[in-house]
Amino acid sequence: MTDESTTNCGPACEEALERLESFLDGELPEEDLGVIQQHLADCHPCTDRASFEEQLRSLVRHKCVDKAPPALFDRVRAHLGDAALG
């Protein structure tokens, strides 16, 4: 029995987060989709992460990045890379 921090519950989380972008893009095959959805249903940190990513995508999509707080902007850049903002 492990008692990991709430920010990372283990390999399942890493796997889920690795696929999160494809998940949000709707590019995951159905078998992976089910795995991610099941994980998000059980894992609050990953649910938070997924909803954060979704908000980022919405910001980028609507070109509202300039209006985002600098701290958020830094997180966007760090996570998505410069290409996503171009």
Nearer to Zn ion, 52 or 73 (CB): 52
Q: For Zn ion, which is the closer residue by CB, 9 or 76?
A: 9
CB nearer to Zn ion: give 13 or 33. Answer: 13
**DSSP alpha helices (H): ranges in 7-43?**
11-18, 20-25, 30-42
Least gap, CB of 58 to Zn ion (angstroms): 22
Select from 34, 46, 66, 42 the least CA-distant residue to 54.
46
Residues that bind Zn ion (CB under 5 A): 9, 13, 43, 46
Q: Which amino acid is at 57?
A: R
